[in-house]
Structure 1
Amino acid sequence: MVQETEFGTTIVGLVADGRVVLASDRRASAGGMVASKRADKVFPIGDRAALAFTGAVGDAQGLVRTLESEVRLYETRRNAAMSVPALASVTASTMRENPVRVQHVLGGVDADGPHLYTFDAAGGVLEQPYAADGSGGPTAYGVLENEYREDVSVEAARALAGRAVAAASERDLASGNGLAVATVDEKSVELDRYDDPAAVAS
């Protein structure tokens, strides 16, 4: 029997050629109903990081606003960019102080290169080369485990992320309705949305 999770969606992240790729499906569920077919689940944090989430939308939006404020405040006070490990630490501290009904993957690029982090409910942090989460996460992980390589190019990573989300959408009722893909480098976050994961998965 497949165990149900309140975190119904699929998110993935990959480190690729000095950058980070984050992706998600675009379905938002409310119980057994599709509440939205155009939900955003990948958000920029500052100029060179992004967060993909699964869970309660309000909690995720609140977390994004908090992290965005922390990044901007840090940059204003120090006249320097916050490192991605520091952002991950702030994220973990925020989760411990104000528990949220969210699981997420955080990725970004700084002077030391690309970083990708996963978090547990207590705010524990792990840096990973690739990750998946949500109710479609186990299926997506199977695709990533089979195909991910450390020397993957950005275009190949975007295609792999698309295939992982598409595979999860085939098996997970809470995932589907397209694909959002963010490509993060040291200067910017580029976010693209597609009605069909095949647009980047081929």
Structure 2
Amino acid sequence: MTASSAESSGRLPDAFLRPGSSSFVDFLGEHAPALLPGNRPTGLTGPASDMAPHATTIVALTFGDDEHGRGVVMAGDRRATMGNLIASREIEKVFDADDHSAVGIAGSAGIALELVRLFQLELEHYEKIEGSQLSLDGKANRLAAIIRGNLPLAMQGLAVVPLFGGFDLDRSTGRLFSYDVTGGRYEEHDHHSVGSGSVFARGSLKKRWRQGLDADAAVAVAVEALYDAADDDSATGGPDTVRRIWPVVATVTADGYRRVPDDALAAVVEQIVADRRQEGSRA
């Protein structure tokens, strides 16, 4: 039966019923490659970095110990820029990849959001087909393959550079992974940051991170790193106390992914501002 006759009869095409790979990305690549983000024609003839909104700074760090549990905190600011303009003050850049992992995006916002949705679907599809979750290394490798598929658009200026972290159920610990535009995957230790403000955020993380942080202290360190990045990088949005816009912050532990509520973040920001004001008065 052809695809057109299957559609007219209301039946799924044969391709959807044959057993095959547990990878949804591989399935699309074989049967509908034009639907993959990296294969879509853009019609652009030159660099596109100033034509589309860009997401900026993501930070992540590990926390905890064997006695109190280990995990990962990931946080992203809310600003998207387009050239010298602020395209959005409320974009979200940190998402749950599945129950025990999180992904943060920096780069071309529209492409990045689509890649995140594809990655979430990839993990959900694998779990439905295989009846079990991928290992954390397996998830990191699947994300690398998706990023590699976006290389043609990255060469046109529409690059996506994610930060991935999660709780490794096999090792009972939180782990972090960074990527380059070619899909290169690199495991990071303790803390990391990506995006335009990452050089300033990393300096803050180096100063504030320490072994054995509890979850609340790790959240405060992540928010302060974004605060420091926003102080020096115009593309990174700091906490907006007037509009009540806070960073997106999530923790991932053995209990799963949890987004930190805005009320808790407001208290963290107020404490950071109070501490900075006190330091300024002493100076």
Question: TM-score, normalising length from structure 2?
Answer: 0.65
CA distance change for structure 1 residues 200 and 50 in 2, over 3 Å: closer, same or farther? farther
Q: CA deviation at 1:187?
A: 3.7
Selected match of 1:10 from 45, 57, 77: 57
Contact 1:48 1:108 in 2 (8 A): yes
Instruction: Specify the SS of the correspondent of 2:192.
Output: strand
- Percent identity, aligned pairs only, is 32
Question: TM-score, normalising length from structure 1?
Answer: 0.90
CA distance change for structure 1 residues 50 and 162 in 2, over 3 Å: closer, same or farther? same
Match of 1:116 in 2: 176
Match of 1:189 in 2: 257
| CA–CA separation in structure 1 for the residues paired with 2:271 and 2:108 | 27
Q: Does 1:83 align with 2:135?
A: yes
Indicate the RMSD between aligned Cα atoms, in angstroms. Answer: 2.1
CA distance change for structure 1 residues 144 and 84 in 2, over 3 Å: closer, same or farther? same
CA distance change for structure 1 residues 52 and 196 in 2, over 3 Å: closer, same or farther? farther
Match of 1:20 in 2: 72
Which structure features the higher share of strand residues? Answer: 1
Q: CA deviation at 1:89?
A: 0.4
Which residues of structure 2 form unaligned runs of 5+?
1-48, 65-69, 240-246, 276-283
Q: Rg larger in 1 or in 2?
A: 2
Match of 1:152 in 2: 213
After the TM superposition, which segments of 4 or more aligned residues of structure 1 sit over 4 Å from their partners? 5-8, 193-197, 199-202
What is the count of residue pairs matched by the alignment?
198
Q: CA deviation at 1:8?
A: 5.6
CA distance change for structure 1 residues 93 and 8 in 2, over 3 Å: closer, same or farther? closer
Structure 1 residues 145-188: Cα deviation after superposition (integer angstroms, max 9, x where no partner): 12212322211111000110000111111111431111112342
Selected match of 1:63 from 115, 136, 140: 115
| CA–CA separation in structure 2 for the residues paired with 1:189 and 1:46 | 8
| CA–CA separation in structure 2 for the residues paired with 1:49 and 1:200 | 28
Instruction: Specify the SS of the correspondent of 1:45.
Output: strand
Task: Report 1 or 2 for greater relative contact order, CA contacts < 8 Å, sequence distance ≥ 6.
Answer: 1
